[in-house]
Amino acid sequence: MDKVGKRYAAGTISLQGGSGGILAMCSCRDFMEVYKKDKTFRVETPESIDPDELDLDMGFTVKEIKGVGCANQIIARLMVQSNDAMRIMAVDEDKKILVMSSLCECKDLMISCEKIYNEIKNSNDEAFKILSSQKYGRVINP
């Protein structure tokens, strides 16, 4: 018996925005990440979102992560280079996907840390500007 529903039919996705074309793609356990220079797209299949097949018309989903793509050192070094290295290694495909999934979790945490660092750095830079502009430079007047 053939299964009927959008989730079982061929489909297409469109990855709009970001600079230039697709530079890299990394398969993880339940999704694939597609990287442009300044944007990441996380593509999820109906099977990973709805494994019990409750919604027969569920299609692929694409989540955009703006401002973070291959130009970011974390993604370039941790994901793209690791993915390239894994391709040439004589390792079982399931193990490669497991490693890339673990690296993706690390990448997400590192990107969060980078955002917090940038917020703290910007705040610190502002405070330094205020202190530097004052005559005595040791006290900030609230």
Number of H-type helices and E-type strands within the chain: 4, 4
- End-to-end CA distance of the chain, in Å? 73
What is the pLDDT at residue 142?
Answer: 58
- In the chain, the percentage of residues whose pLDDT exceeds 90 is 50
- In the chain, the percentage of residues whose pLDDT exceeds 70 is 93
For the segment 74-95, what is each residue's pLDDT rounded down to a tens digit?
Answer: 999 999 999 999 888 888 988 9
For the segment 40-55, what is each residue's pLDDT rounded down to a tens digit?
Answer: 999 998 888 888 888 8
Residue 43 burial (CB count, 10 A): 17
The answer to whether 124 and 140 have CB atoms below 8 angstroms apart is no
Better-predicted residue by pLDDT, 114 or 139: 114
How many residues are present in the chain? 142
| pLDDT-based confidence at residue 114 (cuts at 50, 70, 90) | very high
